[in-house]
Amino acid sequence: LKYKEISIVGRIEKVLIANRGEIACRVMRTAKKMGVRSVAVYSDADRHSMHVAMADEAYHIGPPPSQQSYLSMEKVLEVAKRSGSHAVHPGYGFLSENTEFAEACKQEGIIFIGPPSSAIRDMGIKSTSKHIMSAAGVPIIGGYHGEDQSNERLQAEASRIGFPVMIKAVRGGGGKGMRIARSDANFLEQLESARREARKSFNDDVMLVEKFVEDPRHVEVQVFGDMHGNAVYLFERDCSVQRRHQKIIEEAPGPGIGPDVRRKLGEAAVRAAKAVNYVGAGTVEFIMDAQHDFYFMEMNTRLQVEHPVSEMITGTDLVEWQLRVRQNHQTQTLFTIRTAGNFQMSSEVNLYPPLIFTKLSKSCVKQLCYVCVANSFCLCCFCFEETFLLISLK
């Protein structure tokens, strides 16, 4: 595949953050440090949220349902133009990995703080990304990524690969559309379950089948690329502690990973980034077995929730890098990375409603307190005390 996409660069004096919550606040803190004005967007539900109070300007974009507010490309771009924003930072989730939105920003002459739309497109389809990674010399797990999606073909391929196998939605993410089939007898049941979830979550039920790695570790590498073909890695994060295939604890550097494996992981991640002319912050996710052999899973073409762990072990500010690289700074002038000599970990605080709730519910944060030890603690917060948070069943 050829990647010859021209991206917009220029001076950024005002940035719209097309998101809410923690990541919107996170971007605003760095923007303020750099002297860049920040623009917030908010729905009815977020009118009194922290990111609205922190922003230099804030614009209402609709009712609480995200399809009518944060996922509305038209509304976000209209605010970007009305506010005179030079750039849009999508954060994570919502429009951050939306190819059409990245293209629409370019068409409007607005800088999209993210990779080229071609990279978002190809890394967003698991079967396509694995073909690209294989050609780039990045290790992948053996499996079936073909177009024949009949039950008979998928079951035959599973038997050829050897059970247990992992069934995955090619457009999946966030642990959805994934099932483990441990024998031929339960393969079709697991396949249909994965398809149902994929249709509901991604409006697409195309599947791939891969060998399942027993007792795996989830190890991901933070990468960053500039607009001149350069890319670097900022070491790895171990995100193996999960609930429902979703991360709970992140550790960096990865426990028990030696310097030789660490170097190979980083070099593979850089090859992955360069294979799609990657620009900005991205994460290459690998699955690792007990022998420390690792295989490409996917690439997240955005800033990840877990990025502060990598920042803390390397002494960097990835949001600042994101803003500077879109002003045509090269990696050589950006990157002063210290070695991953210290250890950091983070924990995600997830809200789950009581089992009696089956619809969207509201909960109030009555008290928010923490102990801060100088130079060793980072709180990524997005709410005040007495803030009401919306919780929905997943």
Active-site option among 302, 324, 326, 338: 302
Same domain, 331 and 368: no
Is position 122 within any domain? Answer: no
**pLDDT tens digit string along 162-182?**
999 999 999 988 789 999 999
Residues 325 and 225 in one domain: yes
End residue of a domain, out of 187, 211, 235:
211
Nearest to 143 by CA among 213, 187, 209, 212: 209
- For residue 168, tell me if it sits in a domain: yes
Total tally of structural domains belonging to the chain: 4
- pLDDT on residue 384: 53
Is the pLDDT reported for residue 211 higher than 70? yes
Cis peptide before 253 (omega within 30 of 0): yes
User: What is the DSSP code string of 221-262?
Assistant: EEEEE-TTS-EEEEEEEEEEEEETTEEEEEEESPTT--HHHH
Question: Within this chain, do residues 306 and 249 fall inside the same structural domain, yes or no?
Answer: yes
Q: What is the pLDDT of residues 352-391, one digit of tens each?
A: 655 544 455 556 666 655 555 445 445 555 555 445 554 4
Residues 223 and 275 in one domain: yes
What's the pLDDT tens digit per position in 294-328?
A: 999 999 999 999 999 999 998 899 999 999 999 87
Q: How many CA atoms lie within 13 A of 363 on its CB side?
A: 13
How confident is the model at residue 202, as a pLDDT? 92
- 199 catalytic residue (yes or no): no
Residue 260's beta-bridge partner residues?
none
Q: What is the pLDDT of residue 155?
A: 98
Q: Are residues 219 and 109 in the same domain?
A: no
Its domain, for residue 393, covers 352-394
pTM: 0.85
| Mean confidence (pLDDT) of the chain | 88
Instruction: Determine the Cα–Cα distance for residues 114 and 29; give it in Å rounded to an integer.
Output: 18
User: Does some domain include residue 132?
Assistant: no
pLDDT value for 365: 63
Flag the least confident range among 88-92, 248-252, 290-294: 248-252
Same domain, 251 and 201: no
Over residues 259-285, the mean pLDDT reads 97
6-25, pLDDT tens digit by residue? 466 678 999 999 999 999 99
Same domain, 307 and 383: no
Domain CATH for 157: 3.30.1490.20
Do 166 and 227 reside in the same domain of the chain? Answer: no
**Does one domain contain both 25 and 99?**
yes
Q: What is the mean pLDDT of residues 330-335?
A: 60
Mean pLDDT in residue range 269-296? 97
Distance, in Å, from the CA atom of 167 to the CA atom of 154, rounded to the nearest integer, reads 9
Cα separation of 355 and 334, whole Å?
Answer: 48
